[in-house]
């Protein structure tokens, strides 16, 4: 389906009203191949998912591509594990709900994360002690020349909210399917204190209980994009040296942190932003969410530029107070 002068209002969860010169959706790898053969995908182009990690700062004078590839198929199983192949265009939380219904363990901590299956593998989404890279077996792709390639998880160069698919030279590679390796054996990741506290007291922990607990934490802390435009965490949590962490923790008793190694410590950017007094503050139509300072929100009618102006002011405050640079996690277009 090819549309021109297309409003992206419903294709970015920030709810920024911008237009794309052309907007193309396809429902299978074969359809994508045909679009390529027909010369429909011309420069400049950009592939999006649900638009839940994007901030448009202007109209897009090119072609936006969006996958509607569906289908969840079991490709292999053994006694302990099951390999499940899912289309890139499936809503991520529908996929999680399906896995939970089937009794497959692994993705439940990633319940209610906005976005789609394809983007999950690009962004290496993560929450409550789990990253999707831990559950991916392989990623199937097609490039702008119509060539297909399957990347084994080890070749995806996964790190915190990052992968090979985010490299500039991979812009012409589109994810068509993701194959997950899930567990048939009961196991839960309850390293994260907030999740442990939420499920405490439930006898006989089950997948639906863990999923419900994650959903309930997220609903308390994170705004629903249908009610208040946002793209989840706007910034990444920065990593500092152990020495810098020691200095900070002596100055700010009780400062939260995640120790990554003997030399590196991750400091929650949301905490620093709150310390700078930004929680609940607004500049024009752009605001800092009142329950989680890492989330920037569109209070109604904000432009991409309004949100960038707020982001810049926050980054400067964090730099002035903590001498730490924080960088956006959201892709700014
Ligand atoms: N904190 C504050 N004030 C705030 C926000 C957080 O003091 O306004 C403190 C919290 O009390 C806690 C710590 O900072 O001690 C961490 O906060 P939280 O557990 O809410 O997690 P986060 O580090 O802010 C990350 C991910 C989220 C993910 C949660 C849970 C990033 C950029 N964000 O947030 O992912 O859901 O952990 O695992 O890593 C996303 O990527 O869009 C996202 C929502």
pLDDT digits (tens, 9 = 90+) for 312-327: 999 999 999 999 999 9
Longest dimension (CA), the chain: 63
72-114 pLDDT per residue, tens = 999 999 999 999 999 999 999 999 999 999 999 999 999 999 9
- Report residues whose beta carbon is within 6 angstroms of any ligand 1 atom: 127-128, 221, 232-233, 236-237, 256, 268, 270-271, 274, 279, 292-294, 329
CA torsion sign for 63, 15, 313, 277 is negative
Question: Catalytic one among 116, 233, 311, 315?
Answer: 233
| pLDDT given at position 200 | 87
Burial 84-107 (b: 16+ CB within 10 A, else e): bbbbbbbebbebbbebbeeebbbb
164-220 pLDDT per residue, tens = 999 999 999 999 999 999 999 999 999 999 999 999 877 789 999 999 999 999 999
Per the DSSP assignment, residues forming a β-bridge with 46 are 64
Q: Are 104 and 212 in contact (CB under 8 A)?
A: no
Helix (H) or strand (E) holding 48: strand 45-48
Say if residue 89 is preceded by a cis peptide, omega within 30 of 0: no
State how far the Cα of 287 lies from the Cα of 285, in Å rounded to an integer.
Answer: 7
Cα 136–Cα 142–Cα 145 angle in degrees, nearest 5: 160
Residue having the nearest C-alpha atom to atom 2 of ligand 1:
271
Return the ligand 1 atom nearest residue 127 CA: 38
Q: Where are the beta strands (DSSP E) in 49-193?
A: 54-55, 60-67, 72-77, 81-87, 126-127, 130-131, 136-143, 148-152, 173-183
Residue 131 has pLDDT above 90, yes or no: yes
* Gyration radius (Cα) of the chain, Å: 20
**Residues shown for the chain:** 333
* Alpha helix stretches (DSSP H) within the chain: 29-37, 92-102, 117-123, 193-199, 207-221, 242-251, 269-275, 304-322
Q: Which two tokens stand for residue 40?
A: 């429909």
Annotated catalytic residue 317: no
Q: Are 40 and 82 in contact (CB under 8 A)?
A: no
Pick the closest to residue 97 from 188, 230, 215, 225 (CA basis).
Answer: 215
Annotated catalytic residue 52: no
Q: Are 53 and 92 in contact (CB under 8 A)?
A: no
State how far the Cα of 179 lies from the Cα of 137, in Å rounded to an integer.
Answer: 5
243-302 pLDDT per residue, tens = 999 999 999 998 999 998 999 999 999 999 999 999 999 999 999 999 999 999 999 999
State how far the Cα of 333 lies from the Cα of 320, in Å rounded to an integer.
Answer: 27
- For the entire predicted model, the pTM comes to 0.94
Residues 6+ apart with CB under 8 A from 224: none
Residue having the nearest C-alpha atom to atom 3 of ligand 1:
271
According to DSSP, residue 238 is labeled: P
State how far the Cα of 272 lies from the Cα of 269, in Å rounded to an integer.
Answer: 5
CA torsion sign for 274, 276, 277, 278 is negative
CA separation, residue 308 to residues 19, 76, 190, 285, 297 (Å): 18, 46, 35, 12, 11
29-83 pLDDT per residue, tens = 999 999 999 999 999 999 999 999 999 999 999 999 999 999 999 999 999 999 9
Residue having the nearest C-alpha atom to atom 33 of ligand 1:
233
């Amino acid at each position: 389906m090819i549309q021109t002068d297309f409003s992206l209002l419903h294709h970015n969860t920030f709810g920024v009203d911008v237009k794309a010169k052309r907007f193309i959706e396809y429902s299978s790898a074969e359809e994508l191949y045909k679009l390529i053969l027909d010369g429909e995908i011309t420069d400049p182009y950009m592939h999006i998912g649900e638009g839940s990690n994007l901030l448009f700062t202007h109209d897009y004078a090119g072609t936006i591509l969006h996958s509607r590839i569906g289908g969840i198929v079991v490709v292999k199983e053994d006694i302990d594990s099951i390999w499940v192949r899912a289309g890139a265009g499936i809503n991520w939380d529908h996929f999680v709900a399906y896995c939970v219904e089937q009794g497959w363990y692994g993705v439940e901590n990633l319940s209610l994360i906005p976005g789609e299956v394809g983007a999950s593998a690009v962004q290496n989404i993560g929450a409550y002690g789990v990253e999707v890279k831990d559950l991916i077996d392989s990623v199937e792709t097609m490039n702008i020349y119509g060539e297909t390639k399957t990347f084994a998880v080890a070749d995806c160069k996964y790190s915190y909210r990052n992968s090979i698919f985010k490299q500039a030279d991979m812009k012409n590679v589109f994810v068509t399917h993701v194959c997950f390796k899930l567990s048939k054996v009961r196991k839960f990741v309850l390293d994260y204190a907030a999740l442990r506290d939420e499920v405490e007291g439930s006898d006989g922990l089950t997948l639906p209980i863990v999923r419900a607990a994650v959903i309930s934490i997220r609903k308390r802390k994170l705004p629903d994009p249908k009610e208040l435009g946002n793209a989840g965490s706007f910034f990444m949590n920065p990593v500092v040296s152990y020495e810098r962490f020691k200095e900070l923790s002596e100055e700010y008793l009780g400062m939260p942190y995640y120790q990554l190694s003997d030399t590196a410590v991750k400091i929650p950017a949301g905490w620093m932003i709150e310390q700078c007094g930004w929680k609940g503050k607004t500049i024009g139509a752009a605001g800092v969410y009142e329950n989680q300072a890492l989330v920037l929100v569109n209070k109604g009618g904000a432009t991409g530029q309004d949100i960038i102006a707020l982001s810049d002011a926050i980054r400067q405050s964090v730099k002035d107070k903590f001498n730490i640079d924080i960088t956006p996690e959201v892709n700014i277009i």
